[in-house]
Amino acid sequence: MKNTDDIESYLIGMDASFEAIGDNIWVVKDSGPDIVVSIAGPLVVFRVKLLDDDKVPDERRRDLYRSLLELNATEMIHGAYGLEEGAIVATAALELENLDLNEFQASIEDLGMAVSKHYQQLGRFAA
């Protein structure tokens, strides 16, 4: 079964700029928002914080949430946008057991591309 050492070797193999911030938790620093990678039971979870929910005026929230749902349905094939602890986040998850470098790298790149592609669109809802 894959473990912490495998995740770190993938990050090193990708030549990623990263920092271990706790047991089974890493922050990958890319050109966009940081991607947090963590091991949660049998999963590797990828998470990017986009925007604090309280930065969105009440009159714009309905449109923002609709946009998030539309993006989930049309463009977020392996991940999803959601709300977590008062923040709008993009997340993805893979099974740890059979994880390989190609899957790991593709997930980070897909999430990074989605965020960079949608960041301006979603940011326009903020005050």
Q: For residue 4, give both structure tokens.
A: 């912490």
Report the topology of domain 4-122: Yope Regulator; Chain: A, (3.30.1460)
> How does pLDDT run across 4-38, given as a tens digit for each residue?
999 999 999 999 999 999 999 999 997 778 999 99
| Per-residue DSSP letter, 116 | H
What confidence tens digit (pLDDT) does each residue in 55-76 have? 999 999 999 999 999 999 998 8
Q: What is the pLDDT of residue 30?
A: 75
**pLDDT for the residue numbered 78:** 83
User: How many Cα atoms within 13 Å fall on the side-chain side of residue 77?
Assistant: 4
For residue 116, what pLDDT band results from cuts at 50, 70 and 90? confident
Place of tokens 């990017």: 48
pLDDT of residue 47: 96
pLDDT tens sequence across 37-55: 999 999 999 999 999 989 9
- The model's pTM is 0.91
Find where tokens 């990958």 sit: 28
Between CA 95 and CA 80 the distance in angstroms is 16
Give kind and range of the element (H or E) at residue 87.
strand 87-95
